[in-house]
Chain A
Amino acid sequence: MDNMQQQFIEAGTLMLAGMVFVFVFLSMLIIFINTVLAKLAIKFPDPIVASSSRANKKSKSHSKPHGDFSPAVVAAISGAVKRYRSQHGQDK
Chain B
Amino acid sequence: MSPTELDQMLSTCVLFLDMTETERAEIIPLLEVKTFEEGTPLVLEGPPDQTLWIVLKGRCQVAKRRKAGGEKELAVLLPLDVVGEMSFFHAAPHSANVRALEPVTACRLSHNQYALLQERGSCAANKLVANTVRILSERLRRMDDWAADFMERAAAPEHHEEWRDFRAKLYSGWKF
Decide if A and B are genuine partners.
Answer: no
